[in-house]
Chains A and B, each alone.
Chain A
Amino acid sequence: MTPPIRLSLAPRRSALLQGHDCELDVLVRLVAPDAPAELPVRAPLNLAIVLDRSGSMGGRPLAEAKRCAAFMAAGLSERDRVAVVTFDDTVRVICPSGPAGADHRASVNAALKAVEAGGSTALHAGWLAGGEQAAAHARPGTVSRVLLLTDGQANAGLTDPAAIAADAARLAEAGVSTSTYGLGSRFDEDLLAGMARRGLGQAYYGESADDLMDPFREEFDLLSALVARSVRLRIDCAPGVRGEVLNLYMTDAEGRSVLPDLAYGGVAWALVRLRVPASLAEAGRPDLHVLTAHASYETLAGERRLCEPAHLRLERMPAQAFESLAEDQEVRARAQELRAATLQEQARTAAYQGDWAGVTAALEAARAEAGDNQWVAETVRALETFAAAGDAARFGKEARLKAARMRSRLSQAGEGADWSAALEHDKASYLRRKRQQGKAFFNPEPGGDA
């Protein structure tokens, strides 16, 4: 049995400024245990891989997509299930869901070999057929997910991004999540990011076919290392105190935030911005209870567990003592990243409007507000190369999906402002902070498995 998930709170500064209205960021963390030397048997995976085979995928993109699908299937065993669906203007279940033993894996490979590029993009119907394959076997204790890969925009069948994302939400609520893989610079990043967000999966993309395997590996690593799913967080503020979760997480029917699934060594987190009125921050009172966090999650066996609730009490300090308090570096870094996410989206809107001065201004603001946060600095640098080339499509994809990542990702315990490729290299793939979301972390050898 895995050790329990720990819930903890960290305020940016551990006091309130006496006699003033206070705004205070509090980091709520759900910390997964470190990976044991030998990973326990993971939960059975029930995957449906949905591949776009529309005309534009022809050649290398389709070849690489097929290779990625084959890679996912190769990592599975008799306990897992996999189905493969392709779509252009028609949907084909080229390999119905079956236990992923050697025979079924061989038929997946054979079916993939026969896939050729075709017509337009019935993305919703393709996704739904994948959902149907996984749905029949979506029982408690399995990890059921549709992996949707596309290079284009939905242009046949249901095409409204909001309606498609709502369907992804509905399927996720019923036990089958959706991850999306965009390829190239023509896919609809709002659609794919929206489907993954509401579908409770991951949104990945690769700039080129060479970059596509990296996210598939990452997702496979993540699914293999899961320790807790269906993570829910409720923040109860003390009377008079207002709090807001800044991550833009989905909320469930009870108003709880839906946090990412937790994997070994990861921290699912939410940044709460608290507003405490001056009347509560008056001098001479005992420590003020400002909030209590309640969290629950499901074990891989499908049992619901409650975390020990975490309470935050703060003392009130006069200005001088308050100013001398050190800031918590982890809280500060997460706040900088969320702010950078907002600015990246502003820059993206400007880029699509052709307002490159606006793009520069937003990126400058992100750089300035990020201070010493090296990951944000690297991110801005990567975006500047797209801006310099006047490439709105590529800028938009990187900005949208990096912003989504900064808002909803597993961090590593104690992760602060430092960033370097070497530092990230040693982490589990699903914990890495990439410089550029659409680029493989390692430079893959064309056609190789490195």
Chain B
Amino acid sequence: MQDCLPGPGRGDPLSFKLDAWIRFEGDAEALADAATRILDLMQVKDEAAPFTARLVRDYAQRGIVARPSRFGKETRYGFQHIVEFIAARALVRDGWPLAKIAEYIAKAQPDELLGLIAPSAETPAQQAVRAIRRRSDVSGPDAAGLASSGPGVTPGPRSGGADPHTAARSAQAWLAGRKAELPALLSAIGGSATPDIAQTVEITLAPDIRLVISAHRLSRLTAADAEAIGRAVIASLVGAGQKGSR
């Protein structure tokens, strides 16, 4: 069982740095060793550890980790393979079937996989909620129930396949929904707090679009935070845009 006692006794995932492996290159055996060592450092217990080259090759065969590059007879795995492998193990421990894991990892953003590996300063309960949500997201039609409008709940409009009338109506409904949830979303990302102006980072996305965020917040940003902020930005742009057009 994975140790999920919070508090100082636990391996602090924040102090854990994957950076040491960022230039990793090696064969299946080297990847297995690296992954074993990383889980050890994170104090995560995995019943398949220590991992074997055979398991790595099996995951590559199943498409769970990407195919390694080849130099003649030699196979080379890199950092991304480590991330995929460790993320896959986290999902196995969550009880996912391997086929689903391959499907999920193929579609996942790199940040999402990193989030799986180093779950930041989340409480065990937050990790549980995220695991439940992850499972619901790939379990087919049942995921419809999670298409809802609270912070951290709403997926954006999905592309493709919809009939144009329905799409127009749902786009309208979607806009209205985003506007309605703005107060809750702002509050969910800490909107009432006073930003520390002395320590802000300005990210220029385009000459006329700049994102300003406190350096402290940026350094602690999780994938879920980034997603919530993204949605709040959409909601505020939609709100301001509509006012402007009136």
Contact = CB atoms under 8 A, between A and B. Distances in A.
B142 A158 contact: yes
Interface stretch (A88-96, A210-218, A270-278, A387-395): A88-96
A129 B124 contact: no
Interface residues of B, number: 33
B136 A135 contact: no
Contact of A138 (B123, B147, B149): B123
Nearest to A169: B128
Q: Find the residue from B4, B124, B148 having the highest chain A CB count within 10 A.
A: B148
A174 B1 CA distance: 13
A144 interface: yes
Contacts of A144: 125
Interface in B129-148: 129, 131-133, 136, 139, 142-148
Nearest to B135: A167
Given A157-B142, A158-B136, A91 B125 contact: no
Contacts of A122: 145, 148
B110 interface: no
Contacts of B146: 125, 128, 157
B101 to A, nearest CB: 18
Given A131-B125, A132-B129, A138-B123, A174 B4 contact: yes
Interface string A114-136: 00000000101110110110111
B187 interface: yes
B132 A170 contact: yes
A48 to B, nearest CB: 11
B61 interface: no
Contact of B145 (A125, A134, A171): A125
A30 B7 CA distance: 28
Q: Top 4 nearest A-B pairs by Cβ distance?
A: A157-B145, A91-B148, A135-B125, A174-B128
Contacts of B41: none
Nearest to B124: A174
Contact of A175 (B1, B125, B151): B125
B128 A171 contact: yes
Interface string A140-163: 100010000000000011110000
Contacts of A138: 123-126
B6 interface: yes
B123 A175 contact: yes
A57 interface: no
Contacts of B181: 92
B188 A96 contact: yes
B153 interface: yes
Interface of B: 1, 4, 6-7, 123-129, 131-133, 136, 139, 142-153, 177, 181, 184, 187-188
B125 A125 contact: no
Given A157-B142, A157-B144, A125 B128 contact: no
30 contacts: A87-B148, A90-B148, A90-B177, A91-B149, A92-B184, A96-B187, A98-B187, A122-B145, A124-B136, A125-B145, A128-B133, A129-B153, A131-B125, A131-B132, A132-B126, A132-B129, A135-B128, A138-B123, A140-B6, A140-B7, A157-B142, A157-B145, A170-B128, A171-B125, A173-B4, A173-B124, A173-B128, A174-B127, A175-B125, A176-B128
Interface of A: 85, 87, 89-94, 96, 98, 122, 124-126, 128-129, 131-132, 134-140, 144, 156-159, 167, 170-171, 173-176, 253
B129 A93 contact: no
A176 B132 CA distance: 14
A128 B125 contact: no
B105 to A, nearest CB: 22
A412 B237 CA distance: 59
A274 B102 CA distance: 49
B150 A91 contact: yes
Given A93-B188, A171-B128, A174-B124, A156 B152 contact: no
A228 B152 CA distance: 33
Nearest to A95: B184
A125 B187 CA distance: 20
A171 B181 CA distance: 26
Given A85-B150, A176-B125, 18 more contacts: A87-B148, A89-B148, A90-B148, A92-B184, A93-B151, A96-B184, A96-B187, A125-B153, A128-B132, A128-B133, A129-B153, A131-B129, A138-B124, A138-B126, A157-B144, A170-B128, A173-B124, A174-B123
Nearest to A302: B7
A129 B125 contact: no
Contact of B1 (A89, A126, A140, A253): A253
A94 B149 contact: no
A92 B180 CA distance: 10
A156 B145 contact: yes
A171 B126 CA distance: 9
